[in-house]
């Protein structure tokens, strides 16, 4: 199974805006579009997408889907992924393990912690709009995971972190 993990694009924090409805920043929108081009150019196809119900995750996914709609088969917006821990993200993904290629769009710290664990690295706080790709066997044994890449947009280019 191919698992892709995506942290939402940059969203400014404000004490005056409910966390669930925070929008993307202008820089976040540019990063999401840069990542969309990378996804399209590399023909990354997602049989199913699991996306947090927050505005910033939905908006990140919307920008990517607008640029490359043919790469997305199905999208499920899930309240369970809103600010979910790495354990919860993994539990949700496990419920969808019949798909060949799955994209989970979520938040930190859960996304960064899961990326780090699957990559076998010390826990790293990955930046907004980071995308990681792993393969894992269908019984979801994370010790069997293989890291294919970890990338992020920067200055309208995608750079490889791993």
Q: The domain 2-11+21-160 belongs to what CATH superfamily?
A: Phosphoglycerate mutase-like (3.40.50.1240)
Distance from C-alpha of 122 to C-alpha of 116, rounded to nearest angstrom: 6
Report pLDDT digits (tens) over 70-98: 999 999 999 999 999 999 999 999 999 88
Report pLDDT digits (tens) over 26-56: 999 999 999 999 999 999 999 999 999 999 9
pLDDT interval class at 137 (50, 70, 90): confident
Nearest to 107 by CA among 2, 10, 33: 10
Distance from C-alpha of 50 to C-alpha of 157, rounded to nearest angstrom: 25
Q: Contacts from 108-111 at CB under 8 Å and sequence distance 24+?
A: 108/7, 109/85, 110/83, 110/84, 110/85, 110/86, 111/5, 111/6, 111/7, 111/86
Average pLDDT for the chain: 94
Query: In the predicted model, is pLDDT for residue 138 greater than 80?
Result: no
Token pair listed for 67 = 């640029």
Query: How many Cβ atoms from other residues are within 10 Å of residue 87's Cβ?
Result: 12
Q: What is the pLDDT of residue 57?
A: 98
Q: What is each CA distance from 87 to 36, 63, 81, 134, 153, in whole angstroms? A: 27, 27, 11, 16, 26
Report pLDDT digits (tens) over 97-132: 889 999 999 999 999 999 999 999 998 999 999 999
Query: In the predicted model, is pLDDT for residue 140 greater than 80?
Result: no
Domain coordinates in residue numbering, the chain: 2-11+21-160
Q: What is the pTM of this model?
A: 0.96
Q: What is the pLDDT of residue 61?
A: 98
Query: In the predicted model, is pLDDT for residue 142 greater than 90?
Result: no
pLDDT interval class at 2 (50, 70, 90): very high
Q: What is the pLDDT of residue 119?
A: 94
Query: How many Cβ atoms from other residues are within 10 Å of residue 152's Cβ?
Result: 21
């Amino acid at each position: 199974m191919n698992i892709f993990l995506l942290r939402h694009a940059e969203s400014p924090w404000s004490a005056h805006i409910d966390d669930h409805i925070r929008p993307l920043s202008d820089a976040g929108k540019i990063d999401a579009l840069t990542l969309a081009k990378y996804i399209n150019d590399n023909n990354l196809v997602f049989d199913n997408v699991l996306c947090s119900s927050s505005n910033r995750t939905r908006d990140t996914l919307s920008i990517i889907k607008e640029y490359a709609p043919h790469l997305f088969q199905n999208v499920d917006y899930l309240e369970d992924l809103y600010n979910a821990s790495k354990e919860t993200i993994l539990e949700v993904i496990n419920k969808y393990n019949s798909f060949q290629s799955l994209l989970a769009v979520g938040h930190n710290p859960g996304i960064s912690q899961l990326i780090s664990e699957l990559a076998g690295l010390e826990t790293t706080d990955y930046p907004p709009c980071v995308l990681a790709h792993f393969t894992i066997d269908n019984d979801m044994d994370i010790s069997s995971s293989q890291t294919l890449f970890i990338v992020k947009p920067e200055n309208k280019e995608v750079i490889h972190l791993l």
